[in-house]
Structure 1
Amino acid sequence: MEQHDLNHEFPEYRDQIHTMKMSSGRFSRLFDEYHEVNRHVVRVEVNAELATDFELEDLKKRRLQLKDALYELLKGASVN
């Protein structure tokens, strides 16, 4: 199964992810939501939790939206 935690998704931002989790409330909230959604997706994929295909697709879309938002914050912070 593919790893989708942010350290695997953005290894070049590993230190910055940690720093931003501690210093940015917005980043921290998005980070927590991303990992909550990701855990939910994984549980459905390993059949530990039930969901329809539609629900799983929605979860994956939300995970992607959160990942995009987090990436934009990481990029913006690395420019400063």
Structure 2
Amino acid sequence: MFPEYRDLISRLKIQDDHFARIFHRHNELDQQIKNLEAGVVASNGTEIEELKKEKLQLKDSLYAILRKAASA
């Protein structure tokens, strides 16, 4: 995710608790979605869609933080 910001992501995960929490939650959701889609955990399609929506919102938030930090 956002390879062009790799160094900035590493720095923000250490320096910005809010960013670190969002980043961690995004990764948790990614793993949950993978498990649900692979059938490792039983689910219905609605649950997967809700998780994907939350993950996308977090990704948008992360990108906004990254853009702001990169221009500072």
What TM-score, normalized by structure 1, do the two folds share? 0.87
Q: CA RMSD in A?
A: 0.6
What residue identity is the alignment partner of 2:9?
A: I
1:56 aligns to 2:48 (yes or no): yes
Which protein, 1 or 2, shows the higher relative CO under an 8 Å CA cutoff with sep ≥ 6?
2
Deviations 1:25-68 (A, max 9, x none): 10001011111111100101111111110000000000000000
What residue identity is the alignment partner of 1:67?
A: K
State the identity as a percent. 38
Runs of 4+ residues deviating >4 angstroms: none
Name the residue aligned to 1:46: 38
What TM-score, normalized by structure 2, do the two folds share? 0.97
Gap runs ≥5 in structure 2: none
Gap runs ≥5 in structure 1: 1-8
Higher helix share: 2
Give distance in 1, aligned partners of 2:39 and 2:62.
Answer: 28
What residue identity is the alignment partner of 1:56?
A: I
What is the total number of aligned residue pairs between the two structures?
A: 72
